[in-house]
Amino acid sequence: MIEEITNPDEVEARIQKLRLLEALLFASADPLDEETLAGRLGPDANVPALLNELRAHYAPRGVNLVRTGAGWSFRTAVDLAPLLRQEEEVSKKLSRAAIETLAIIAYHQPVTRAEIEAIRGVATSKGTLDILMENGWIRPGRRRETPGRPLTWITTDHFLDHFGLESLRDLPGVEDLRAAGLLDSRPVLLGIAGGGVEEPAATDADEDA
């Protein structure tokens, strides 16, 4: 691996330079050009020689050191591409409306679509429940025994699995959310809070419905 150098100190110094080069290329978000690398490795480093050595080391492996334009970067080996890319779906961000709807189903289940809309104060767009159902997070529950016998929605076991919960009981309650700072409490308008005295526990019950 190391050629034509016999002095042990020099060998050690060269190995350290190689290791640093490897780490820099690994951690960088963009390809790095030789000038930048030289700046990081110090004036006594022979950057082209080090790059060649690293390239040779990685050539047979699952990851290769490749040159793109003026820069160098690690890339997974081209021949492995078919094995790496099994599904081409790109992960997407769930819309805010969908996250909120999912949260409301989780906290209020079983809940009908009309109830979700009453709680959120806006109509639920057509695709929202579909998306949540396609992902296996929600499923239809029993019909409510009221006029029209509307369908209710509940969360699935996959929902618990995805969010790392053991049971629905482990979902933080409204007070827990408030205490954790996820739900800012209403502005304190009382003139004199008693110093460090915790604010009285605000009532949970809310005025929806």
Partner 1 sequence: MAGEDFEEDRLTPDIAAEQLVLVLDGFEGPLDMLLALGREQKVDLTRISILQLADQYLAFIAEARKVRLELAADYLVMAAWLAYLKSRLLIPQIEDEEPSGEDMAAALAFQLQRLEAMKEASAKLFGRPRLGHDIFARGAPEDVDIQRKSVFQVTLYDLLKAYGEHKKRKENGVLYIEPVRLYSLEDAVQRLSEMLGRMPDWATLSSFLPDGVRGALLTRSALAAHFAATLELAKAGQVELRQDGAFAPIYVRRAQRQE
Site for partner 1 in 83-142 (CB under 8 A): 84-85, 87-94, 96-97, 99-100, 102-104, 106-107, 119-123, 131, 133-136, 139-140
Site residues (CB under 8 A) for partner 1, limited to 5-24: 23-24
Regarding 158 and contact with a copy of itself (CB under 8 A), the answer is: no
Which residue(s) pair with 33 in the sheet? 71
Question: Which string of x and - marks every residue 51-80 that binds a copy of itself (by CB under 8 A)?
Answer: ----------xxx----------x-xx--x
Which residue(s) pair with 155 in the sheet? 138
- Contacting residue, 3, 126, 189, 190, with a copy of itself by CB under 8 A: 126
Question: And the tokens for 123?
Answer: 């109509």
Q: Please, what is the minimum distance in Å from the beta carbon of residue 138 to a copy of itself? A: 9
Regarding 155 and contact with a copy of itself (CB under 8 A), the answer is: no
9 or 198: whose CB is closer to a copy of itself? 198
Q: Among a copy of itself, partner 1, none, what binds residue 169 when CB lies within 5 to 8 Å by partner kind?
A: a copy of itself
143: enclosing H helix or E strand: strand 138-143
* Residues 30-56: b if buried by 16+ CB within 10 A, e if exposed: ebbebebbeeebeeebebeebbebbee
Task: Find out whether 120 and 100 touch, Cβ atoms under 8 Å.
Answer: yes
CB count in 10 Å sphere of residue 115: 19
8 or 181: whose CB is closer to partner 1? 181
- Contacting residue, 51, 65, 105, 131, with a copy of itself by CB under 8 A: 131
Q: In what order do the strands lie in the sheet with 111-112?
A: 111-112, 151-155, 138-143
CA atoms within 13 A on the CB side of 24: 22
- d(CA 26, CA 73) in angstroms, rounded, equals 7
Q: Give the total residue count for the chain.
A: 209
Regarding 154 and contact with partner 1 (CB under 8 A), the answer is: no
- Contacting residue, 6, 87, 164, 189, with a copy of itself by CB under 8 A: 164
